[in-house]
Amino acid sequence: MADLRYNGEIRTSLPAVVSSPCPLRIENFPYDVQKCNISMGSWSFDREFVAVNSSIDVIWPQKGRIEVFRKTISVQETSIFKGNSEWELLSIHLVRSDNYDTLMESWFSEITYIVTLKRKPVYYVLVIQAPTFILCTITIFGLFTPNSNEDERLSKVELCLNMFAAISMMLQLVSDMMPKASRLPLLGNYIIAEVFVVTAATIASILIQQVHHHVHTSAIRPPDW
């Protein structure tokens, strides 16, 4: 349906669902901020036939050069945009430009919306980071607990092995959540660092258990100081 105004302007609204690719930089996942460019324009008709504008004032380019008009959309104007449980909408910038095609020798109108999104890290903090930090802390404190017999020393080793298995399961969960990329995100580095800490604590517990067992079974014992 077309809307005909009193001044001769004809406006039509065609509902459509459009998917636009957006390259992600996940080095700081899950504390990352992403910028997605959504460009709209016609490459079939030049600006003499199709001029892509927004609801705000637009400066037309001067003849012979590209003039870009940039504007930040206000909070009132962004009220029609909604985020979701994972992303928070920070801002939307509007870039109005005209591109000259040397092959067709024509100017083509284009509008680009630069959408800035921030990931909400609460889920990853509560489900991944906090539990793994608690497990790693328990492992470290368990390494320094006093013991008086061999069974208690074996319990230390079992504790470290159980914590290692739990963090390994967390790492598998994180690998399923994280976007696949050539560089490991911040959350992945955090979990791997905890895996190394728990591994070191497990090795230390085994070595201490072996030393204590050797001392108690050896004929030569250190003096009781």
31-80 confidence digits (pLDDT tens): 999 999 888 888 888 888 888 877 654 333 334 334 444 555 554 455 66
Task: Classify residue 9: in a domain, yes or no.
Answer: no
Q: What is the pLDDT of residue 68?
A: 47
Residues in the chain: 225
Q: Note the pLDDT of residue 31.
A: 92
What does the pLDDT read at residue 78?
54
Section 206-210 average pLDDT: 80
Pairing between strand 10-12 and 69-72? Answer: unpaired
On whether residue 100 sits in a domain, the answer given is: yes
In a domain, 55, yes or no: yes
Token match 């957006």: residue? 22
Is 5 within a domain? no
* Residue 19 vs residue 122, higher pLDDT: 122
Instruction: Extract the runs of DSSP E, i.e. beta strands, from 60-147.
Output: 69-72, 87-101, 106-119
**CATH number, residue 184:** 1.20.58
Token reading at 199 = 């591994």
Assess whether 114 and 164 both reside in one domain.
no
Query: Do 137 and 210 reside in the same domain of the chain?
Result: yes
Tell me what pLDDT residue 119 has.
92
- The residue among 2 and 79 whose pLDDT is bigger is 2
Q: Do 127 and 213 sit in the same domain of this protein? A: yes
* Closest-CA residue to 174 (of 163, 185, 188): 188
116-166 pLDDT, tens per residue? 899 999 988 998 889 889 888 888 887 777 665 666 667 777 877 888 888
The chain-wide mean pLDDT, for the chain, equals 77
In the structure, what pLDDT confidence band is assigned to residue 14 with cuts at 50, 70 and 90? confident
pLDDT of residue 56: 53
Distance between CA atoms of 147 and 154, rounded to whole angstroms? 10
- Alpha carbon dihedral 205, 207, 208, 209, in 10-degree steps, equals 80
Residue 29, domain member (yes or no): yes
Residues 113, 126, single domain; the answer is no
Calculate the CA 90 to chain-centre distance: 15
Distant-in-sequence, close-in-space partners of 157: CB < 8 Å, separation ≥ 6:
202, 205, 206, 209
Domain hosting 52: range is 25-119
Residue pair 188/136 in contact by the 8 Å Cβ criterion? no
Q: How far apart are CA 93 and CA 70, in angstroms?
A: 7
Q: Residue 16 falls within a domain, yes or no?
A: no
Structural domains of the chain, count: 2
Residue, of 175 and 111, whose pLDDT is higher: 111
**Torsion sign across C-alpha atoms 181, 182, 186, 188:** positive
Residue 67 near residue 59, CB atoms below 8 Å: yes
